[in-house]
C-alpha cells in the first residue's frame, strides 16, 4: 500500500496547480494515467480570461455579467463572482511562474476578443496557450517534492462513512492494482468529450473521475449540459480555436453567406458557442451547407498570411495536416464538435465535494477543473473561462485541502474497496464473452452524437437512453483478446468504456427530464427557457434500480434572469 498525505488524481492544469500548492506543506502525490504533459490542457489554444483591461477598460463586474448571461442564468453567482474577481491575480501568478503570454506593443499581456465576452479579455500565448500553461506549471512542480505516479489508472475512491481515505489504482506498466492511503484526495480528471463521436477532446478524456464518483455513491450535477464548439474540423472534430473568430474570422455557408447575421446580428461570429453551434446546425439541416451539405466554412482569408502565422500558427497547421486546406487561401470546412462538460462532480466554491442537493460535504474529498461542477459555467461556458476555472479552483481546492489537513488524520483504509478494484481488473482482463468493448464504445459515441447532440427531442433521447442501457448490458458479455499485464491498453480502454456508459446514462436521462431550452441544452419539442420550472441544478444519483434525480436552487446574487439575446 502506498501512503501520502494528499493524493491528486490528474496531472492537467487543475491537478498540477493543486499539487504545486499542497506540496508546500504536505507529502503530495499526483496519480495520472498519462504523463502530465500529455493532459488535454496542453491542447487548449485560444486563451485564459481575466478583466485586466490591457486593451480596453474592463472590470470584474462586466466579466461577471457576461459569464452569468453566457451560463443562461444557471451558473451560481457566488461562484462566478469568485472566478472573475480572482481572475487577474490568477493570471499574474501564472505570469510570475513563468508563463510566456503574448504581449501588446507596450509589453503588457495581450488580450483578444472571445465569444460572449463584451471586452477583449482572453490572455494568450499565440494559439498555444494550454501548452504553455501546462509546461510552465509542470516545470515549477519538478523542484518540489511531489511523488509523480505517471501511467497509473485510478479505479475507485475509498469513501466510507462520508470520509475519503484514498484511492485504488492500476499500475499500467505492471498490471498490478494498489491501494493509495491518504488523508485527502483531490480529483482533477478532466472532461468526457470522448463519449461523443465528433469531439475536440483527446483520447484520454473519458470522464473516469465521474465514474469513480458514481461508484462511490456520489451524485453528478448538471450532466445534461454538454458544450458543442462551433469550429470542429469537418469529420475529425479537431478544434480550431475560437481565437480565429476573435482575430476577425468569418463563418460562411455553402452559398458564401455570413449566416450569423440571421442569428446574432449584433455579435455575429462572437456570439457564445451554443448560439453559433445551433446556427451552423440549422444551416446544415436546411440544406445550405457546403459540398455534400453537411458542413459550413470558417473563412480566414481576409486576415492575411502574416497575421495567421503570428496569431494562429497551430490552426493553419491543423487545417493543412488534417483536411488538406490552407486557411491563408482556402475556406476551412467545419462542423459543431463535442467540446466541454459543464456538469460534473458537485463542489462548493472552495472545491469541497458535496454528496447531495443539501450540500452535505464528503470529508477529505475535493475536486477541481473540468471534472468538477462548482457551477461557474451553468448551462453554457464562455470560451477562455475554463483554463481560468482549472487554474483558479485547482489552487482553491489546494488551499481548502491544506486547511483540512490541520485537523485531519489517516482513517483506516477500507479493504473491500481494494478487493473490488482487484476483482474488477481481473474480471476485465479475463473476460471471454462475445462482445467487443471497442465496438461498444464506438456505438455509444455514434448514438450520443446523433441523438443527444446540438438539437434534442424526447423521441431521440428515449432511443438514446435505450441504446445506452443496451450497451451497458452487452458490456457484461465482453471478451478481451490480450491477457498480458504490462501496458494492456485493451484492459484500460474497457475500464474507460465502462465509465463512459455509466455517466452517459445520466447525461441522457437528465436531458430527457429537462423540458426546456437553456444554454447548450436545446429541446426542439420544448421551445424557450422555463425559469418557473427549470431554474435549478440537476443532482443525479446512480441507484440499484436506475437514475434518481434531485434538484438544487441556483444561487442568484446580482443579476436576476432576463432574456438572453446577442
Ligand atoms: C482542443 C481544446 C481546446 C481548448 N481550448 C481552451 C481555451 O483556449 N481556453 C479555455 O479556457 N479552455 C479551453 N479548453 C478547455 C480546457 O482546456 C479544459 O477544460 C482544461 O484544460 C481542463 O483541465 P483539467 O486539469 O481539468 O483536465 P485535463 O487537462 O484534461 O487533465 C486531466 C488529467 O486527469 C488524468 N486522468 C484522467 N483519468 C484518470 C484516471 N482514471 N486515472 C488517473 N489519471 C486520470 C489525465 O491523465 C490528465 O492528467 C479546450 C479544450 C480542448 C479539448
User: What is the 93 CA–ligand 1 centroid distance (Å)?
Assistant: 20
For the chain, percent of residues with pLDDT exceeding 70: 100
**To test ligand 1's pocket by mutation, which of 43, 44, 311, 322 has the most ligand atoms within 8 angstroms of CB?**
44
Most ligand 1 atoms within 8 A of CB, residue of 39, 207, 395 to mutate: 39
Q: Of the listed 121, 273, 278, 523, which one is catalytic?
A: 273
Closest CA to 412 of 179, 227, 201: 179
CA distances to 39, 64, 134, 148, 209 from 35, in Å: 7, 35, 12, 9, 17
Question: Model's pTM, two decimal places?
Answer: 0.96
Closest C-alpha among 545, 497, 500, 505 to residue 224: 505
Least confident span in 54-58, 270-274, 367-371 = 270-274
User: E strand or H helix at 160, and its extent?
Assistant: strand 152-160
Listing DSSP states for 364-426 in one string gives EEEE-GGGEE-SSSTTSPPTTHHHHHHHHHHHHHHHHHHHHHTT--PPPP-HHHHHHHHHHHH
Nearest ligand 1 atom to the CA of 46 is 8
Q: How far is the centre of ligand 1, averaged over its atoms, from the C-alpha of 479 (Å)?
A: 30
Give alpha helix (H) positions in 71-166: 77-85, 87-97, 129-141
Beta-carbon contacts of residue 82 (< 8 Å; ≥ 6 apart) = 349, 392, 396
In terms of Cα–Cα distance, which of 513, 439, 543 is closest to 481? 439
Which atom number of ligand 1 is nearest to the Cα of residue 207? 38
* pLDDT for residue 411 is more than 90: yes
At 566, the pLDDT band (50, 70, 90 cuts) reads confident
Q: Give, using CA atoms, the residue closest to atom 9 of ligand 1.
A: 384
CA-32 nearest atom, ligand 1: 44
Q: Which atom of ligand 1 is nearest to the CA of 11?
A: 49
Range 387-413 burial, b when 16+ CB lie within 10 A, else e: bbbbbbbbbbbbebbbebbeebeebeb
Residue-by-residue DSSP string for 431-483: -B-SB-HHHHHHHHHHHHHHHSSSSB-HHHHHHHHHHHHHHHHHHTTBB-S--
**Residue to probe by mutation, ligand 1, list 130, 141, 188, most atoms within 8 Å of CB:** 130
Phi-psi map region of 477: left, alpha, beta (phi>0 left; psi -120 to 50 alpha): alpha
User: For a pocket test of ligand 1, which of 30, 49, 190, 225 has the largest count of ligand atoms closer than 8 A to its C-beta?
Assistant: 190
CB 488 within 8 A of CB 429: yes
Q: Convert the pLDDT of each residue in 2-60 to its tens digit.
A: 999 999 999 999 999 999 999 999 999 999 999 999 999 999 999 999 999 999 999 99
Q: What is the pLDDT of residue 213?
A: 98
CA distance 402 to 129: 29
CA atoms within 13 A on the CB side of 520: 30
Q: Find out whether 480 and 437 touch, Cβ atoms under 8 Å.
A: yes
Taking only the tens place, the pLDDT of each residue in 100-154 is: 999 999 999 999 999 999 999 999 999 899 999 999 999 999 999 999 999 999 9
**Closest atom, ligand 1, to C-alpha of 47:** 8
Atom number of ligand 1 nearest to Cα 169: 42
Ligand 1 atom 10 nearest Cα:
384
Q: Whose CA is nearest to atom 31 of ligand 1?
A: 12
Mean pLDDT estimate for the chain: 96
Give the model's pLDDT for residue 214: 97
pLDDT digits (tens, 9 = 90+) for 172-231: 999 999 999 999 999 999 999 999 999 999 999 999 999 999 999 999 999 999 999 999
Element (H, E) at 25: none
The C-alpha angle 110, 130, 312, rounded to 5 degrees, equals 60
547: Cα within 13 Å, side-chain hemisphere: 24
Residue bearing the CA closest to ligand 1, atom 11 = 384
How many angstroms does the Cα of residue 146 sit away from the middle of ligand 1? Answer: 20
Ligand 1 centre distance from Cα of residue 123 (Å): 18
- Residue 239 phi/psi, 5-degree rounding, is -75, 135
Q: What whole-number distance in Å separates Cα of residue 315 and Cα of residue 327? A: 8
Q: Which atom of ligand 1 is nearest to the CA of 124?
A: 8
- Give the Cα separation of 382 and 402 in Å (integer): 30
**Protein residue whose Cα sits closest to atom 5 of ligand 1:** 44
Q: Tell me which residue has its CA closest to atom 3 in ligand 1.
A: 44
3-state secondary structure of 274: helix
- Is the pLDDT assigned to residue 455 strictly greater than 90? yes
Q: Give 401's pLDDT tier (boundaries 50, 70, 90).
A: very high
pLDDT of 565 above 90: no
* CA dist., res. 122 & res. 46, Å (int): 7
The closest-lying atom of ligand 1 relative to the alpha carbon of residue 34 is: 47
Residue range 167-176: mean pLDDT, rounded? 98
Is residue 273 part of the annotated active site? The answer reads: yes
Ligand 1 pocket test, candidate residues 2, 7, 8, 10, most atoms within 8 A of CB: 10
* Distance from residue 517's CA to the centre of ligand 1 (Å): 27
Decide: 219 and 531 in contact? Cβ < 8 Å. Answer: no
Q: How far is the CA of 462 from the centre of ligand 1 (A)?
A: 30
**Residues 6 or more apart whose Cβ sits within 8 Å of residue 176:** 170, 485
Query: Who lines ligand 1 at CB under 6 A?
Result: 9-15, 31-34, 36, 39-41, 43-48, 129-130, 153-154, 188-191, 200-201, 204-205, 208, 239, 340, 369-371, 383-387, 390
CA 535 – ligand 1 centroid, Å? 28
What's residue 199's pLDDT? 96
Task: Please tell me whether residue 497 adopts helix, strand or coil conformation.
Answer: helix
CA of 365 to the centre of ligand 1 (A): 20
> What's the pLDDT tens digit per position in 226-266?
999 999 999 999 999 988 998 999 999 999 999 999 999 99
- Confidence band, pLDDT 50/70/90 cuts, at residue 298: very high
Cα(41) to centroid of ligand 1, in Å? 4
Cell matching residue 131? 501548452
For residue 202, report the distance from its CA to the centre of ligand 1, in Å: 8
Amino acid at each position: 500500500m502506498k501512503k501520502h498525505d494528499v493524493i491528486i488524481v490528474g496531472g492537467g492544469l487543475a491537478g498540477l496547480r493543486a499539487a504545486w500548492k499542497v506540496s508546500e506543506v504536505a507529502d503530495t502525490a499526483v496519480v495520472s494515467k498519462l504523463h502530465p504533459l500529455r493532459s488535454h490542457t496542453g491542447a487548449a489554444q485560444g486563451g485564459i480570461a481575466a478583466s485586466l483591461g490591457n486593451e480596453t477598460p474592463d472590470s470584474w463586474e462586466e466579466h461577471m455579467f457576461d459569464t452569468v448571461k453566457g451560463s443562461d442564468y444557471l451558473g451560481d453567482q457566488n461562484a462566478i463572482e469568485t472566478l472573475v474577481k480572482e481572475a487577474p491575480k490568477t493570471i499574474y501568478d501564472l505570469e510570475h511562474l513563468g508563463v510566456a503570454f503574448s504581449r501588446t506593443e507596450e509589453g503588457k499581456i495581450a488580450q483578444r476578443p472571445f465569444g460572449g465576452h463584451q471586452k477583449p479579455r482572453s490572455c494568450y500565448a499565440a494559439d498555444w496557450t494550454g501548452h504553455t500553461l501546462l509546461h510552465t506549471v509542470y516545470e515549477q512542480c519538478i523542484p518540489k517534492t511531489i511523488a509523480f505516479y505517471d501511467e497509473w489508472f485510478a479505479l475507485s475512491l475509498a469513501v466510507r462513512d462520508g470520509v475519503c481515505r484514498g484511492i485504488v489504482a492500476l499500475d499500467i506498466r505492471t498490471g498490478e492494482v494498489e491501494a493509495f492511503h491518504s488523508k485527502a484526495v483531490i480529483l482533477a480528471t478532466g472532461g468526457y468529450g470522448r463519449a461523443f463521436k465528433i469531439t475536440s477532446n483527446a483520447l484520454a478524456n473519458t470522464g473516469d473521475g465521474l465514474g469513480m464518483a458514481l461508484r462511490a455513491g456520489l451524485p453528478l450535477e448538471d450532466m445534461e449540459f454538454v458544450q458543442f464548439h462551433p469550429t470542429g474540423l469537418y469529420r475529425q472534430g479537431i478544434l480550431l480555436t475560437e481565437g480565429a473568430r476573435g482575430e476577425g474570422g468569418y463563418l460562411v455557408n455553402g452559398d458564401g453567406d455570413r449566416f450569423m447575421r440571421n442569428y446574432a446580428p449584433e455579435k455575429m461570429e462572437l456570439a457564445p458557442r451554443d448560439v453559433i453551434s445551433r446556427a451552423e446546425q440549422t444551416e446544415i439541416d436546411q440544406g445550405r451547407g457546403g459540398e455534400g451539405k453537411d458542413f459550413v466554412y470558417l473563412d480566414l482569408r481576409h486576415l492575411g498570411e502574416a497575421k495567421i502565422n503570428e496569431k494562429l500558427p497551430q490552426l493553419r497547421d491543423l487545417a493543412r495536416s488534417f483536411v488538406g486546406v490552407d486557411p491563408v487561401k482556402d475556406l476551412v470546412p467545419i462542423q459543431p464538435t463535442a467540446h466541454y462538460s459543464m456538469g460534473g462532480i458537485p463542489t462548493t466554491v472552495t472545491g469541497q465535494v458535496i454528496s447531495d442537493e443539501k450540500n452535505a460535504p464528503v470529508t477529505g474529498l475535493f475536486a477541481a477543473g473540468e471534472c468538477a461542477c462548482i457551477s461557474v459555467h451553468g448551462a453554457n461556458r464562455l470560451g477562455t473561462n475554463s483554463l481560468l476555472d482549472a487554474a483558479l479552483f485547482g489552487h482553491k481546492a489546494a488551499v481548502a485541502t491544506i486547511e483540512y489537513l490541520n485537523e485531519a488524520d489517516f482513517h483506516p483504509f477500507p479493504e473491500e474497496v481494494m478487493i473490488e478494484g482487484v476483482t474488477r481488473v481481473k474480471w476485465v482482463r479475463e473476460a471471454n464473452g462475445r462482445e467487443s468493448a471497442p465496438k461498444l464504445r464506438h456505438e455509444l459515441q455514434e448514438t450520443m452524437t446523433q441523438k443527444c447532440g446540438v438539437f434534442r427531442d424526447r423521441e431521440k433521447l428515449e432511443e438514446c437512453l435505450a441504446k445506452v442501457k443496451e450497451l451497458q448490458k452487452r458490456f457484461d458479455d465482453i471478451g478481451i483478446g490480450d491477457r498480458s499485464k504490462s501496458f494492456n491498453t485493451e484492459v484500460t480502454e474497457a475500464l474507460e468504456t465502462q465509465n463512459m456508459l455509466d455517466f452517459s446514462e445520466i447525461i441522457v436521462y437528465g436531458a430527457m427530464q429537462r423540458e426546456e431550452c437553456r444554454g447548450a441544452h436545446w429541446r426542439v419539442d420544448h421551445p424557450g427557457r422555463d425559469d418557473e420550472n427549470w431554474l435549478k441544478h440537476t443532482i443525479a444519483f446512480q441507484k440499484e434500480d436506475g437514475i434518481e434525480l434531485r434538484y438544487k436552487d441556483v444561487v442568484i446574487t446580482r443579476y436576476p434572469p432576463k432574456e438572453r439575446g446577442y
